Amino acid sequence: MKYPKFNIDDISMFLQQLSEFKKSLVAFSAGLLSVLAFAPIYIFPIYMMSLPILLLLSMNSGTVKDAFKFGYIFGLGHFFAGLYWIGNSFAVEPDIPNWAGFIMVALLASYLALFIGIVCGAAKYIHRNHTLKTHLINIILSFVTLWSIAEWLRGHLFTGFPWNLSGYIWGFSDIMLQSTAVWGIHGLSLITLIICFIPLVMLKKKYVITAPIFGVIILCGLIYYGYSRLDVEVENIEGVNLRIVQPNIKQQDKWSYENWGKNLVNYMDESEDDGSEGVTHVIWPETAVIYSLSEEPFRRQLIAQILDEGEALITGYPRRQKSSSGTKIFNSMIAINDKGETIGGYDKSHLVPFGEYIPNFIRNILVPLGVGEIFTGGQDYSEGDGLKTIKIDGLPPFSLVICYEIIFPGEVVNRINRPDWILNITNDAWYGESSGPYQHLLQSQVRAIEEGLPVVRSAGTGISAIIGPYGRIIDEIPLNSRGVINGKLPMKLASDTIYSNFREWIFICINVMFIILNVTLVMRNKWLSR
């Protein structure tokens, strides 16, 4: 077999000489390895190798169906390796075998891989009469545009799951993330995809000089913009002193009835520590209190004993709402004052499919089989009324997002009544020592940059943090550690970010420009070939 030199034609020939099994193995391996570009490892050059390999496999395939197949196989490896941590959430349930979680990850990966399969199949169909030798730039533009649109669709269809978008490979650098203030994470993902294919373009002799120059210009632009934004000091809001509590309670020890009281005492002890002097607001994470505090004034008053006059506490809890038609359960937040009175609340509105509820069309299949309780514990949570800006005495108005809600770009604040900061309460104890909590934290940082708002994050375990409006972590408690953060609340930016005003419109415009450019280049090549 002839081994490839460093040019596209020889690499393409080498791949074509491989058996179908070996091609599939290459696609799956590239998908698996591509995940190393994301948090917490950040070997981002691997992403710049994996995607070109996928493009070469797809475009050198014989049919559209084959191109789809290689994309789908790549996606299986990419999403299974990237989302393996979800399987850990099943391992904490004593009645569920550990392997069941990874079957669910495989099923999720099987669905998400469709997006990559469709990208590869569509690119092959669009360029079925073109070759990499004659239309390399056109093919790359089509692939990049299709991939970025697929990522956007993945974040919206069937309630959406925008995890590990391409732009997150820059999470190791606050500087490289700053452009999300202009075009959001989807815009940065689009630019990232262009950068990923520059090494491939360089293998074509015609572009060996211009391609790296183009790449350097893009990178220098991102770096310059990032440096210029970060060359400022963020001030804090006077009179607001937060105490964020991370108890590091294992998921196995959280929901057992015999532990409810003990866990509540742990929270109260951490909150009442000597270091809490001067604290104005105490923050506990998602479902920190298992009791339905809205119905139990006695326990609210018990908790209020740790608060000095004028202090308030914000915590997550499961809220029950009884009616003649039955009882609904909400994943909720409650704020109480030093008298135990309720002064604020919120019900989670963007629920996790299969984690907090079973979609109706699936329920009709799972429940008769007796496996519905594997996902929700027997009863679905109900949706809240949507995002709202919450006002509590002594605090600037804030947006409360619970756990999963923070991962959705453009959907973390009420646009009509914008808040001054974002509070994210979560519980990442489900996922153990894995990449999941690190990737979750990164998405909180990017939401801060996009909106120009500080984010305060309280986690049951890992990773609690105070994040400034430029996405920089000011203070944090590491994963699987017990502790508190006593910190100030940073101010929001003086003016709204471009992204907060225009959302995805800039991303859409760039895609439209790429489509117009692509069509123009194809027409030009046709005209020149006459």
Residue 433 is given by DSSP the state S
The catalytically annotated residue of 124, 348, 488, 492 is: 348
CB atoms within 10 A of CB 18: 14
What is the chain's percent helix, strand, coil content, to nearest 5?
55, 15, 30
509/516 Cα distance (integer angstroms)? 10
| Residue 370 zone, left/alpha/beta (φ > 0; ψ -120 to 50; rest) | left
Q: Is 322 a catalytic residue?
A: no
DSSP assignment of 74-110 equals HHHHHHHHHSGGGGHHHHT-TTS-HHHHHHHHHHHHH
359 forms bridges with which residues in the sheet? none
- Beta-sheet pairing, 312-323 with 455-459: unpaired
The three-state secondary structure class of 459 is strand
- Beta-sheet pairing, 281-283 with 236-246: parallel
Choose among 507, 514, 526: nearest CA to 137.
514
Number of H helices, E strands in the chain: 18, 12
Q: Is 348 a catalytic residue?
A: yes
Q: What is the 3-state secondary structure (H, E, C) of 14-56?
A: HHHHCCHHHHHHHHHHHHHHHHHHCCCCCCCHHHHHHHHHHHH
The set of residues, in sequence order, having a beta carbon less than 8 Å from that of 416 and lying 6+ positions away, is none
The set of residues, in sequence order, having a beta carbon less than 8 Å from that of 19 and lying 6+ positions away, is none
The catalytically annotated residue of 124, 254, 311, 403 is: 403
Q: Is 403 a catalytic residue?
A: yes
- For the chain, the first-to-last Cα distance in angstroms comes to 38
116: tokens are 């990559």
Q: How wide is the angle at C-alpha 442 spanned by C-alphas 438 and 444, nearest 5°?
A: 120
Alpha carbon of 309 to those of 65, 241, 397: distances in Å? 68, 14, 21
298/319 Cα distance (integer angstroms)? 16
The catalytically annotated residue of 151, 286, 405, 411 is: 286
Backbone phi and psi for residue 473, each to the nearest 5 degrees, phi listed first: -80, 120
Question: Which residues are annotated as catalytic?
Answer: 286, 348, 403
